[in-house]
Amino acid sequence: MNLNQVTVPSIDVERSVVFYKKLGLQLIVKTHSHYARFECPNGEATISIHQVETLPEGEGVIIYFEIENLDNKVKELIEKGIVFDKKPENKSWLWREAHLRDPYRNRIILFYAGRNRKNPPWRINPSE
């Protein structure tokens, strides 16, 4: 099994397209004003935006994008007008994270974890 894509809701797909392009994603599908799909610059995963009449309530989806040079990318995005809720900081789970939201309040976490992303010291051994 492999993750293909995550889809997030948007009231205005065009506005979301501008935002996700600023993040550095490549627009690959835009069939109409209700749907757009992007690919990540690295890897095979994609993210899509679909139009909704009302946004879901509650916490919703949290999207994580791993970026090797996180601090420089955050500086670059701030210069492009992206607002962060939290600038890069080291976490106890051995990741460095920065938090922000897209125009419709979907949470995005930009992070760098390196080896610890899938292999933290507390990883469960599959044979156990």
Q: Which two tokens stand for residue 73?
A: 């990318």
8-45 confidence digits (pLDDT tens): 999 999 999 999 999 999 999 998 889 999 999 988 89
User: Per the domain annotation, does 125 fall within a domain?
Assistant: no
User: Per the domain annotation, does 105 fall within a domain?
Assistant: yes
The model's pTM is 0.90
User: Per the domain annotation, does 126 fall within a domain?
Assistant: no
| Domain range for 22 | 5-117
Q: What is the CATH number of the domain that holds 101?
A: 3.10.180.10
* CA dist., res. 71 & res. 57, Å (int): 31
User: Per the domain annotation, does 123 fall within a domain?
Assistant: no
User: Per the domain annotation, does 55 fall within a domain?
Assistant: yes
The distance in angstroms from the start CA to the end CA of the chain is 22
Sole residue written with tokens 């992206």: 82
Element (H, E) at 77: helix 70-79
User: Per the domain annotation, does 128 fall within a domain?
Assistant: no
Q: Which two tokens stand for residue 17?
A: 């397209």
Q: Which two tokens stand for residue 126?
A: 């599959």
Number of domains in the chain: 1
Q: What is the pLDDT along the chain (128 residues), one digit of tens a residue?
A: 788 899 999 999 999 999 999 999 999 999 888 999 999 998 889 999 999 999 988 888 899 999 999 999 999 999 999 999 999 999 999 999 999 999 999 999 999 999 999 999 999 987 76
